[in-house]
Amino acid sequence: MEIARFVVVSFLLVISFFPSGDCNLVFKVQHKFKGRERSLEAFKAHDIHRRGRFLSAIDLELGGNGHPSESGLYFAKIGLGTPVQDYYVQVDTGSDILWVNCAGCTNCPKKSDLGIELSLYNPSSSSTSNRVTCNQDFCTSTYDGPIPGCTPELLCEYRVAYGDGSSTAGYFVKDHVVLDRVTGNFQTSSTNGSIVFGCGAQQSGQLGATSAALDGILGFGQANSSMISQLASSGKVKRIFAHCLDNNNGGGIFAIGEVVQPKVHTTPLVPQQAHYNVFMKAIEVGNEVLNLPTDVFDTDLRKGTIIDSGTTLAYFPDVIYEPLMSKIFARQSTLRLHTVEEQFTCFEYDGNVDDGFPTVTFHFEDSLSLTVYPHEYLFDIDTNKWCVGWQNSGAQSRDGKDMILLGDLVLQNRLVLYDLENQTIGWTEYNCSSSIKVRDEHSGAIYAVGPHDLSSASSLRVERISMLLLMLLLTIFHSFRN
| Average pLDDT score, the chain | 79
pLDDT 10s digits, 315-349: 999 999 999 999 999 999 899 998 877 778 999 99
Q: What percentage of the chain carries pLDDT values higher than 90?
A: 50
Query: What predicted TM-score, i.e. pTM, was given to this entire model?
Result: 0.81
Percent of the chain as helix, strand, coil, to the nearest 5? 20, 40, 40
Give the span between the Cα atoms of 315 and 74, in whole angstroms: 19
Element (H, E) at 477: helix 467-481
Type of residue found at 77: K
Catalytic residue from among 96, 113, 175, 308? 308
Sign of the alpha-carbon torsion through 96, 99, 105, 108:
positive
Of the candidates 55, 77, 59, which has an alpha carbon nearest to the alpha carbon of residue 186? 59
The arithmetic mean of pLDDT across residues 419-429, rounded, is 96
pLDDT 10s digits, 455-480: 643 333 333 334 334 444 444 434 44
CB 208 within 8 A of CB 107: yes
The arithmetic mean of pLDDT across residues 32-57, rounded, is 33
Sign of the alpha-carbon torsion through 452, 221, 468, 348:
negative
Secondary structure of 405-419 in the HEC alphabet? EECHHHHCCEEEEEE
Residue 6 or 251, more confident: 251
C-alpha distances in angstroms, 251 versus 60, 123, 140, 307, 460? 11, 30, 37, 19, 12
Give the span between the Cα atoms of 402 and 178, in whole angstroms: 40
Catalytic residue from among 92, 164, 402, 419? 92
The arithmetic mean of pLDDT across residues 26-32, rounded, is 21
pLDDT 10s digits, 188-229: 988 888 999 999 999 988 787 777 789 999 999 999 999 999
Tell me whether residue 92 is one of the annotated catalytic residues: yes
Element (H, E) at 228: helix 227-233
Query: How many other C-beta atoms can be found within 10 angstroms of the C-beta atom of residue 50?
Result: 14
The pLDDT, as a whole number, for residue 455 is: 61
The pLDDT, as a whole number, for residue 482 is: 46
Tell me whether residue 246 is one of the annotated catalytic residues: no
Give the span between the Cα atoms of 372 and 132, in whole angstroms: 44
Question: H helices of 1-131, where?
Answer: 3-8, 33-49
